[in-house]
């Protein structure tokens, strides 16, 4: 298998879906894909877009956060060269982006205010994508990247390759 990375960005909201449906899509499907990839190419880097508020302890009150935490924990145990869990919060769409949530179009004016007042929870989709690419190419010291990590990695100068 000639690929060195998987960017797993599929996800759904827990609103309006049964707990079983959410577990199936968020945990079961993600793990099935990741386990297959780990068997085919353990030298791969697996990047998983999860979400701010994910509960790594798997014991919190929020069902979605526990499911995401369990998914992250199991992904981190797979025999990939590296696995990174990206936990974005509010993401500003890239200008001209198609298929963004309609609500973002109406909230875009809030982005500069949110970025200033709540920098731990706000990034751009471009920063998330850039950080994912950089994590694959140069690594990152932590396997779980919160919004400040994502923004810092996205804006860090690339490491020189010798």
- CATH number for 5-155: choose from 3.40.190.80, 3.40.50.720, 3.30.470.10, 3.40.309.10: 3.40.50.720
pLDDT, one tens digit per residue, over 20-39 is: 999 999 999 999 999 999 99
* 20-57 burial: b if 16+ Cβ within 10 Å, else e: eebbebbbeebbeebeebbeebeebbbbbbbbbebbbe
For the segment 79-87, the average pLDDT, to the nearest whole number, is 98
The pTM (predicted TM-score) of the whole model is: 0.89
pLDDT, one tens digit per residue, over 127-154 is: 999 999 999 999 999 999 999 999 999 9
Question: Which pLDDT value is given to residue 15?
Answer: 87
């Amino acid at each position: 298998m000639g690929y060195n990375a998987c960017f797993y960005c599929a996800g759904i909201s827990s609103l309006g879906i049964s707990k079983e449906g959410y577990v199936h899509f968020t945990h079961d499907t993600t793990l099935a894909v990741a386990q297959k990839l780990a068997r085919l190419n353990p030298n791969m880097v697996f990047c998983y877009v999860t979400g701010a508020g994910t509960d790594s302890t798997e014991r919190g009150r929020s069902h979605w956060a526990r499911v995401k935490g369990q998914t992250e924990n199991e992904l981190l145990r797979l025999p990939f060269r590296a696995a990174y869990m990206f936990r974005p919060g509010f993401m500003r769409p890239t200008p001209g982006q198609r298929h963004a949530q309609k609500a973002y179009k109406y909230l875009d004016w809030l982005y500069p205010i949110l970025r200033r007042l709540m920098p731990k929870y706000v990034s751009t989709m471009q920063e998330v994508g850039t950080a994912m690419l950089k994590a694959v190419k140069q690594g990152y010291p932590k396997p779980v990247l919160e919004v400040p990590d994502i923004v810092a990695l996205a804006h860090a100068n690339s490491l020189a390759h010798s």
